[in-house]
Amino acid sequence: MSKRLPICLALQGGGSHGAFQWGVLDRLFEQDVLDIRAVTAASAGAMNAAALVSGWEADGPQGARDALDRLWTEVNRSGGRNVFGESGAWLRSLTPQWMTNNPMWQAAQTLALSNSPYTFNPFNLNPLKRVLDATIDFDALKASDVRINVSATSVRQGQSRIFTNPEMSADVLLATACLPHMFQAVEIDGEPYWDGGYLANPALWPLFEADVPRDILILPLNPLRRSETPRQSADIMDRLNEILFNAPLIAEVRAIAFTQSLITQGKLVRAKEWEAPRIHAVLADDWLGELSLASKFDTEWSFLQTLKERGREAADQWLGECSQDVGSCTSIDLQKVFF
């Protein structure tokens, strides 16, 4: 086995589209070329982060692959199947055109968003709790040498909080994935939290510490660019959702690029012990671009497997084109992608 390359992971949130990350990570760990030393994540990305780190502690890269397999198997089981079996293909055939463009469907969406989870879900039932209990070893997370940073949004303070290894719990993962229109805020130490992706999706700044690798591999789940202007209300909401949840990541990457440019121009003096981060990414644009916001709630096994296979293909492409840059230089054009 060749020497593994030390690296940090940054895992964006995006509902069931997190199965795309599953595929990327599965292929990378199968190749066994990366030494994961730190992970920062939000929402669905945090579920992947927790699974891979707890699995990594058990059996290295293969343990991480096994843990991710268990996670997404349980996501499918908790998402439920109807009595007719796999209905995902039928639902997807309706959703993009006929259903989302139908005025009755749009009115139903508006009505659903107007209801509070404190009203329609008074017992705060969340199937994700069972998934976490069945798949995540929280003791392993707390004891792991692999740093984990999970973001959640403080409702009252309007700030992002980063939870680290000693704080890992089911409540932390429920908080980072808490969509406020669907679930009641998750209270931790008396403070209510919502989805971490609103303010840090994911947070990159925890990876700037001196004792973690300078290389950061970002795995986004929301396409950054679109070729057409959305005109249907559902398409407009989809694109708005992507822009809002990409905004924190774009802001941080731009700050990194700006700082690096100042150093290059000699306008900012770099401390001797600090090395600029090297950014890498497996972008979702070409792989998830045609999928709607509604598909982020699709947990049918066939759909999750499709996303996993796309992730594996994307990882293969990255391994062939960019992996040789880990440890030496940034492998993505930050100006072109994030500016």
Write out pLDDT tens, residues 90-105: 444 444 454 455 554 4
Q: Which of 85-89, 91-95, 140-144 has the lowest mean pLDDT?
A: 85-89
The average pLDDT across 1-8 equals 82
The average pLDDT across 119-130 equals 82
Tokens matching residue 161: 């909080």
- State yes or no: pLDDT of 199 exceeds 60: yes
* Residues in the chain, total: 339
Q: Which of 27-31, 122-126, 164-168, 327-331 has the lowest mean pLDDT?
A: 122-126
Q: What angle do CA 241, 88, 64 make, to 5 degrees?
A: 75
- State yes or no: pLDDT of 143 exceeds 70: yes
Q: Which of 164-173, 179-188, 218-227, 258-267 has the lowest mean pLDDT?
A: 258-267
**Paired sense of beta strands 191-194 and 186-188, if any:** antiparallel
Alpha-carbon distance of 339 to 327, in angstroms, equals: 24
Give the pLDDT confidence score for residue 9 in this predicted structure: 98
Distances (CA, A) of 242 to 21, 247, 256, 291, 294: 17, 8, 21, 11, 12
Tens digits of residue pLDDT in 275-285 = 789 999 999 99
Would the pTM count as exceeding 0.75? yes
